[in-house]
Amino acid sequence: MKNLVGTVRCSFSASLWPKAAVLSLLLVAFAGLGAAQKLAITIDDLPQNGALPPGVTRVDITRDTLAVLKKRHVPPVYGFINAKKLEGSVDGAEALKLWTAAEPFGNHTYTHIDLEANTAEAFERDVEQNEPTLELLAKPGSGNSGNDWHWLRYPYLHEGDTVEKRRAVREYLTKRGYKIAQVTLDWEDYMWNSAYARCAAKNDKKSIEWLRTSYLSTASEFLDLGRAQAKLIYGHEINYVLLMHLGAFSSTIMPDALDLLKKKGFKLVTLEEAESDPVYQGDPDIGLHDAGTLLDQMMQLKQIKYPEHVEKPYKDLQSVCQ
Ligand SMILES: [Zn+2]
């Protein structure tokens, strides 16, 4: 903080600048410093989440979303792959090649297995079944050689409904060289993907506009909620990891979502940088059912009451354009 303020002072001599201008510059500098919070965007369910509008391919969605990320100079975004979705899908395979040539990628298990419905051993087999594809995509000459794919994102964010299962899988992941790609911010963006595919098929412009406004108001609400949770749990803000999904709505809504993050004062960083925050070394170390993000898990562990917030529009998203 001192450095930046010092720079402002040194660069703009008060004799050349009106006092009011200097004061407002300082205020802007302080406001920026107070709000800037590091956040890494991550994307799950590659090559594709949810339904597609007619005439739109997975390649289209991937290409268009990558173009937005590039245009907006977003730091490398980890995409987490379920290789089973590639079976019999030339479009999916092509889409994945586009992603992995441009952005880093990690393991989301082969079949998107649910650790709450399966044993630790079955989960571990599913992690390993995904590896040959990741290895192939990372090999020299693939466009993204040197990619560190030893990051695991738990499907459904389920880390184990018993403490034994949780510990067994964590121990296994460490031995196998994996880091856990935790999540600390999530507004369940995937719910808008299939809804958008339906509305686009009907060319229902009014509903598509509702999807846009409801997406952004929900995102805003849950960004604020996540930050409030961090303060309640740790007493201060943290580096955040945001969960998103690649689907029909992604490239359409991404520019607005990036604007919102900027408006809220987030500074985009890589997953590695976000997780350099010591809170990501923390482990609630209890069995939990459908507990959500690391922050949600910590809230349960510490039995902290949630701040008031507006819920996501689950029902409306299911029924819109049906
Ligand atoms: Zn997933």
Confidence of residue 290 (pLDDT cuts 50, 70, 90): very high
Assess whether 9 and 54 both reside in one domain.
no
**What are 180's strand-pairing partners?**
152
Question: Minimal CA–CA distance to 47: which of 3, 10, 93, 78?
Answer: 93
- Distances in Å between the Cα of 277 and the Cα atoms of 5, 239, 272, 314 are 25, 6, 9, 32
Q: From the CA of 18, how far away is ligand 1's center (Å)?
A: 54
Give 141: exposed, middle or buried? Use CB within 10 Å, 0-12, 13-18, 19+: exposed
Assess whether 142 and 263 both reside in one domain.
yes
Q: From the CA of 321, how far away is ligand 1's center (Å)?
A: 24
Assess whether 281 and 305 both reside in one domain.
yes
Give per-residue pLDDT as tens, 120-134.
Answer: 999 999 999 999 999
Assess whether 7 and 87 both reside in one domain.
no
Q: From the CA of 44, how far away is ligand 1's center (Å)?
A: 5
Assess whether 233 and 158 both reside in one domain.
yes
Q: From the CA of 111, how far away is ligand 1's center (Å)?
A: 10
Q: From the CA of 246, how far away is ligand 1's center (Å)?
A: 10
Q: What is the pLDDT of residue 140?
A: 74
Assess whether 147 and 292 both reside in one domain.
yes
Q: From the CA of 43, how far away is ligand 1's center (Å)?
A: 9
Residues in the chain: 322
198 alpha-carbon distance from chain centroid: 24
Percent of the chain exceeding pLDDT 70 equals 88
Give per-residue pLDDT as tens, 223-258.
Answer: 999 999 999 999 999 999 999 999 999 999 999 999
Q: What is the pLDDT of residue 11?
A: 34
Give per-residue pLDDT as tens, 8-26.
Answer: 333 333 344 455 555 554 5
DSSP character string of 228-277 = HHHHHHHSS---EEEEEEEETTHHHHHHHHHHHHHHTTEEE--HHHHTTS
Q: From the CA of 282, how far away is ligand 1's center (Å)?
A: 22
Six token digits for residue 73:
């100079």
Q: From the CA of 243, how far away is ligand 1's center (Å)?
A: 9
Q: Is the peptide bond before 47 cis (omega within 30 degrees of 0)?
A: yes
Q: What is residue 150's three-state secondary structure?
A: coil
Percent of the chain exceeding pLDDT 90 equals 85
Assess whether 72 and 14 both reside in one domain.
no
Q: Residue 137 is part of which domain span?
A: 36-319
Cβ-based neighbour number of residue 157 at 10 Å: 20
Q: From the CA of 141, how far away is ligand 1's center (Å)?
A: 28
Assess whether 73 and 3 both reside in one domain.
no
- Per DSSP, helices labelled H in 155-204 are 163-175, 191-201
- Provide the mean pLDDT of the chain: 90
Pairing mode of beta strands 78-81, 105-107? parallel
Assess whether 24 and 41 both reside in one domain.
no
In the numeric block, the tokens 């997780």 are attached to 275
Residue 66 reports pLDDT greater than 80? yes
Assess whether 208 and 306 both reside in one domain.
yes
> Rounded to whole angstroms, how far apart are CA atoms 1 and 245?
35
Give 23: exposed, middle or buried? Use CB within 10 Å, 0-12, 13-18, 19+: exposed
Assess whether 78 and 92 both reside in one domain.
yes
Assess whether 159 and 217 both reside in one domain.
yes
Six token digits for residue 201:
């098929």
Q: What is the pLDDT of residue 1?
A: 35
Give 20: exposed, middle or buried? Use CB within 10 Å, 0-12, 13-18, 19+: exposed
Give per-residue pLDDT as tens, 303-319.
Answer: 999 999 999 999 999 99
Report CA Rg, the chain: 21
Write the CATH number for 249.
3.20.20.370
Q: From the CA of 192, how far away is ligand 1's center (Å)?
A: 14
Confidence of residue 67 (pLDDT cuts 50, 70, 90): very high
Q: How many domains does the chain have?
A: 2
